[in-house]
Amino acid sequence: MQRILDRFLKYVQVDTQSDPNNPAFPSTKKQWDLARILVAELENIGMQEVELDKNCYVMATLPSNVSKEVPTIGFVAHMDTSPDFSGTDVRPQIHRNYDGKALVLNRAQNIVLSPDYFEDLLLYKGQTLITTDGTTLLGADDKAGITEIVSAMEHLIEHPEIPHGKIRICFTPDEEVGKGAHLFDVNKFGAEWAYTMDGSEIGELEYENFNAASAKIVIKGKSVHPGYAKNKMVNSILIGNEFASKLPPADVPEKTEGLEGFYHLHSSKGGIEETVLEYIVRDHDYEEFEKRKAALIQIATHLNKKYGASIVNVELKDQYFNMKEKIEPVMHIVDIAKEAMEQAGVRPLIKAIRGGTDGSQLSFKGLPCPNIFAGGHHFHGKYEYVPLESMVKATEVITNIAHLTAKRNI
């Protein structure tokens, strides 16, 4: 447990925040800092074929220790942290034997992590919680996953009596900006299937996720002196408001759950001459997903007819798709993960991801890749935390998956 804690604390203090506005790959140079640390650590624990490629992907191999043929499996986690909140100068705090009461993260700024608002805290009474100091995110998304994979590989190396086949691991850059799997070389990775360690609450096991697209709505206006603007001015801000008002008001993240899709307006910028609305579009059902994208086009068409010119332009870009269709034909890989959790004393929580992981893109690239809990909560912000015990259990689940895969095929 202490070794896992020390490893995690070392990783989270390396700033690896990615940048959605930089087309370079990786989007920030600082991601290389953690990549190089991981290469050195993987070599130190005895991993083989450790490689850091030109695109900042770290790959390594744990050779099989059984004589019969066993499927090669993989484990994947991402190195970058979210652009949504600062990842600079992370100062983690350790709260041992959590008593179920409010945790003061930052007394000077009155930042409190309380079960009155975050009820999930009560699941972890008596455990060791790692939190932020209220000024940054923590980075458990996904440095908890990295910690668990490295720790599991170290455990298997130190315990050769545990049978396992060949295991490949990969740490990716730029997952948080949707590019984590873009340059992932599935053929070089060489696994029959893999698991991303990128889920949240202990027990999460996910093989279904949103279909996802981005939408950029560019509205052109015409600025005229307001005193002489009648029948001349075209105020793009007001047309932008009108565009947004035509979407279903209940189809937003804060009013949806489960398999319900949404439109999320995450950026609105503009003036009279030009307004830009940026949405993300999400739905688990592919047909409904296509309808949502079509609705944006229909609104733009209506407004263009109304105002007599093509002043509203919609740019749609698909981001990833629901991996369910790629996982269902190979459901034994989910069954193995479920059994591995049960062996570790963890109750599997099988549900759909209201988001996406590298695994969704990798599944469509030919590497079926369900998602397993990493243990953290409230990612992308100052209230992020992770129970140490959840990371320990995730590490155990990885080793159990390795053993079960070998056992089923020996």
Ramachandran quadrant class, 224 (left: phi over 0; alpha: psi -120 to 50; beta: rest): beta
- Catalytic residue flag (residue 175): yes
- Determine the 3-state secondary structure of 224 from DSSP: coil
Tell me the CB-side half-sphere exposure of residue 325, using CA atoms within 13 A: 11
Angle at 180 between CA 176 and CA 186, to 5 degrees: 160
Closest CA to 143 of 334, 15, 22, 1: 15
Tell me the CB-side half-sphere exposure of residue 103, using CA atoms within 13 A: 28
- Which of 175, 198, 204, 206 is flagged as catalytic? 175
- Which of 80, 133, 154, 384 is flagged as catalytic? 80
Cβ atoms of 80 and 143 within 8 Å: the answer is no
Cα separation, 391 vs 146, whole angstroms: 10
Residue 44 parent element (H or E)? helix 31-45
The two structure tokens encoding residue 195: 């698991």
Alpha-carbon dihedral sign for residues 395, 401, 404, 409: negative
Query: Residue written as tokens 């086009």?
Result: 297
Distances (CA, A) of 108 to 104, 105, 111, 238: 10, 9, 8, 41
Distances (CA, A) of 72 to 179, 194, 251, 340, 400: 25, 9, 42, 17, 15
Cβ atoms of 105 and 134 within 8 Å: the answer is yes
Starting from the edge strand earliest in sequence, which strands make up the sheet with 93-95, in order?
Answer: 93-95, 129-131, 385-387
The two structure tokens encoding residue 60: 């390594």
Q: How many CB atoms lie within 10 A of CB 396?
A: 20
Residues contacting 161, CB < 8 A, separation 6+? none
- Catalytic residue flag (residue 185): no
Which residues are known to be catalytic? Answer: 80, 175
